[in-house]
Amino acid sequence: MTAEIINLNKVRKAKERAEKERLAEENRIRHGRTKAEREQQDAQRTIDEAHLEGSRREVAGDGYKRSGETEEDLDPGSVS
């Protein structure tokens, strides 16, 4: 009866790899987002950017105006 020879370096490295994989899986669960969550966040970001762009003011001469307004809308002399 002979004993089976074991390379201790291979056993140690296999154990370390298994531990790293376990930690990686734990981190994916803890910090990861699903594809649906990423797509929902991207859609919301697109909506927010469109809303922000629609509310943006542009420089018009000496004052500011909203997109779609004309110079006459801002002229204080035209107000009765």
pLDDT per residue rounded down to tens, the chain (80 residues)? 788 999 999 999 999 999 999 999 999 888 888 889 999 999 999 999 999 998 888 765 555 566 666 666 555 665 55
- Residue 53: inside a domain: yes
pLDDT of residue 77: 63
- Residue 78: inside a domain: no
Domain interval for residue 48: 8-72
- Residue 1: inside a domain: no
* Number of domains within the chain: 1
Q: The pTM is what?
A: 0.41
Structure tokens given for 25: 């899986």
- Residue 15: inside a domain: yes
pLDDT of residue 60: 58
